Chains A and B, each alone.
Chain A
């Protein structure tokens, strides 16, 4: 009897976790706490890159990535504005401090590209931020400055 109750609770928790899991898309759209933000307004490079924003996201649900569940308390969102950013076959990749993050996704109105990381170790003061399509790289005019 007790075992059955435990099983029922476990199944309910499992269902609840799958019902209330986030996707990377959710993470691109959820509110976050700004950790650092640039202010450049002059377009740079082929796609008119202007500035950046780094935000910390507090996660209350697991995140599903590629069918895998990631249980993390925090994630970080790196956003580059400017554009319009073309929707290309070659993936847009944001790099911070020389580390490539997951392929970026263009915002709905193509005025930003953004990506998520579950590792903040590269988000350090003075880190260089770039946006690349293959070997075509634009270096942002401002380095990362955390609040």
Chain B
């Protein structure tokens, strides 16, 4: 009964749905293209020229403005086609038989439509010329993609100031180049991160205010800070199956002091790599398209979560696009448009209806000024003295050690498992960087606990709304029953009182990772976020300790990181 009342109080405190960022807005939308030719631009040291072609969605008639600009960049895919057959070359006209370009850049029109109807100009860039030759350069095209984005921004600077073909003066004064967001899919995902670095290195001529890598590669491990970043990770990705893009989140967390920006990783259960792009989706565009999980993953079709067996948890292409729409549109509306969808991105509200599924889990880190890190769990010293300088104690925890971070930590937390099953530590093709430092913890008694003391001067947490940490159920430890979620009690103590909250009353993040074939299950340290109001009758100005009591199950094992009070 107590639990039910508490659940009701949470629902009242955190309304289920606000406005849906994936909903179409009031403005009619016009789509046009500009095309300066298939060989109009050559990125630095890139072995061939590429096209300057893009699709533009904007509010019809541009009645207001200047509007924020959102730039989309697709990933690597076949470049040309005839019938249902794909080819790889550029330009397509250089082939001996007639071929058409594959319009990968049109694959996100469903998001562009919604954003434009809410007052954004959305430019989706074609990058077939890069796709045809990017395996010839060491960084696999990251810089070329960054330069291509910058070139398009230069073009838009021209459209906005003096105008130019094919639009004449239509966009003059209508584009806010201080409010730009970028979304890149797959190799385009690393491309938008690399672009942020490039733009900064040029003195930030354009105001990049939000970066969204979608199912990205992270071959080179660029790290960006002081800009909101959200990485979307499809659990059933059959192409970038190791979900290496989670490094964009992990690497950025403590990279600079006083980081002003929030970070997100959004795990979409049942989603594959390709269905976010309609042109890569069979049934919509049949040349060179595939359900990557079923087509690329050895044994993948028989997986109970990601495969084709009865009862699988795969999203349909429509559903998957819903998740992309809800989070990509929401991210840019939140960070460029001044609308408030923060609760969708910190996990305080469930996914909006446009997301079509609630099987979405978040990793969330607030800006530095909006959190108090209790224990970052970055090095062995953090096992005895936490980030605040407080004592760390434990009893009955075996193992109790760090893995995945800098040496001497072991590079992988589960040495016998594939990298694709532990994305936080998967190696990068072009960087020696290590992965996420995690506390590997297990228990075989309900008396086990880990206690983080808060020293004097750090005990007033009343400015924060939540206590949060990241955790994943360790599928490699037999103390976790297969398919059964884990649970634990989080205990706050002040000078007089001790108050307990069991995690399962406020969070679904301690699920047992589903799947059993090849690249799944996966360790993904999602955020467990506990509202401080759940700890009733505690003095938030005088918290003495944060204790995890492993008293809800007889035994188990978790990987844990990033314990913090947060807004």
Q: Which residues does A use to contact B, with CB under 8 Å?
A: 23-25, 45-46, 64-67, 84, 86-92, 102-110, 133-136
Contacts and interface: CB of A to CB of B under 8 A. Distances in A.
Contact of A89 (B47, B186, B297): B186
Interface string B239-264: 11110000000000000000000000
Given A66-B45, A104-B135, A88 B296 contact: yes
A16 B186 CA distance: 39
- Give the bracket for the number of chain B residues in contact with chain A: 35 or more
Contact of A87 (B95, B131, B295): B131
Nearest to B186: A89
Contacts of B518: 136
Interface in B62-102: 75-79, 85-89, 95
B87 A88 contact: no
13 contacts: A45-B298, A87-B77, A87-B78, A87-B88, A88-B292, A106-B88, A108-B95, A109-B85, A109-B87, A133-B296, A136-B241, A136-B296, A136-B298
B431 to A, nearest CB: 14
Kindly list the 5 A-B residue pairs having the minimum CB-CB distance in the complex, ordered from nearest. A67-B45, A89-B186, A103-B135, A24-B136, A23-B47
Nearest to B288: A87
Given A66-B45, A87-B78, A25 B133 contact: yes
B393 interface: no
Contacts of B292: 88
A84 B88 CA distance: 11
A89 B298 contact: no
B87 A108 contact: yes
Contact of B240 (A25, A89, A102, A110): A89
Contacts of B419: 134-135
Question: In this complex, which of B48, B75, B135, B242 has the most chain A Cβ atoms within 10 angstroms of its Cβ?
Answer: B135
Contacts of A136: 241, 296-298, 518
Contacts of B538: none
Contacts of A106: 88
A45 B242 CA distance: 20
B298 A65 contact: no
A46 B86 contact: no
B418 interface: yes
Contacts of A107: 88
B28 to A, nearest CB: 35
Interface of B: 44-45, 47-48, 75-79, 85-89, 95, 131, 133, 135-138, 140, 186-187, 217, 219, 239-242, 273, 288, 290, 292, 295-298, 418-420, 429, 518
A52 to B, nearest CB: 18
A15 B164 CA distance: 36
A86 B288 contact: yes
A10 B78 CA distance: 42
A20 to B, nearest CB: 15
A25 B94 CA distance: 14
Nearest to B289: A86
Nearest to B143: A66
Given A87-B88, A106-B88, A134 B47 contact: no
A51 to B, nearest CB: 20
Contact of B298 (A46, A67, A84, A88): A46
Nearest to A92: B135
A108 B86 CA distance: 9
A109 B86 CA distance: 7
Contacts of A104: 135
A80 to B, nearest CB: 14
Contacts of A89: 75-76, 186-187, 217, 239-240, 273
B179 to A, nearest CB: 29
A81 to B, nearest CB: 15
B135 A105 contact: yes
A86 B85 CA distance: 11
